[in-house]
């Protein structure tokens, strides 16, 4: 069962996938109905999930499920990964490159490769207060309240 993204409960579980490039407006218009259809059809052991899906900041694919209603099973999570892989092929994009980190700088999403991070920190371009889009955020409430969050409040804190 599809739930509008803005109506998810705070405890809804999230899976966040970061694209290696921003989507164009035309691509976003094409993706939106695909996301809604997936969320509508997404199920666990034959039982429909209370799910939603959204593309945020032209780059982040977020799948969500209200686990209080029905928990996602291994098979349903596998189905979501298959869906994300299909989007990758259809739009020639990668959602599984975890070496790219996204920060909010000058009101824009800026991506920094892991290999560049130490140099950017040393140069003062990234500090503990730089807002970071942590793809490890796992519930809707945290996404709404603290995303992006200061890099120093994430797993990146070891760099400061």
pLDDT in tens, the chain (160 residues): 889 999 999 999 999 999 999 999 999 999 999 999 999 999 877 777 889 999 999 999 999 999 877 777 788 888 999 999 999 999 999 999 999 999 999 999 999 999 999 999 999 999 999 999 999 999 999 999 999 999 999 999 999 9
pLDDT (0 to 100) of residue 13: 94
Is there a contact between 160 and 121 (Cβ–Cβ < 8 Å)? yes
What is the SS3 string spanning 66-78?
CCCCCCCCHHHHH
0.85 exceeded by the pTM? yes
CA distance 148 to 156: 13
pLDDT (0 to 100) of residue 62: 98
- Of 69, 51, 136, 50, whose CA–CA distance to 98 is shortest? 136
- Please, how many CA atoms are within 13 Å of residue 30, restricted to the half-sphere of its CB? 8
pLDDT (0 to 100) of residue 60: 98
CA distance 93 to 17: 11
pLDDT (0 to 100) of residue 73: 76
CB neighbours of residue 144 within 10 Å: 12
The sign of the torsion formed by the CA atoms of 79, 80, 81, 87 equals positive
pLDDT (0 to 100) of residue 74: 80
The domain segmentation of the chain, as residue ranges, is: 5-91, 100-136+147-159
């Amino acid at each position: 069962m599809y739930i509008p993204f803005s109506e998810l409960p705070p405890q809804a579980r999230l899976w966040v996938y970061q694209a290696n490039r921003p989507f164009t407006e035309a691509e976003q218009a094409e993706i939106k109905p695909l996301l809604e259809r997936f969320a509508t059809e997404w199920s666990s052991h034959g039982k429909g999930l209370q799910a939603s899906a959204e593309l945020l900041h032209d780059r982040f694919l977020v799948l969500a499920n209200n686990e209080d209603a029905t928990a996602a099973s291994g098979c349903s999570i596998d189905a979501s990964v298959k869906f994300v892989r299909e989007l990758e092929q259809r739009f020639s994009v990668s959602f599984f490159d975890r070496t790219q980190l996204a920060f909010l700088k000058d009101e824009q999403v800026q991506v920094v490769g892991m290999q560049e991070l130490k140099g950017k920190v040393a140069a003062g371009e990234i500090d503990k207060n730089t807002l970071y889009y942590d793809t490890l955020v796992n519930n809707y409430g945290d996404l709404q309240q603290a995303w992006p969050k200061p890099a120093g409040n994430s797993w990146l804190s070891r760099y400061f």
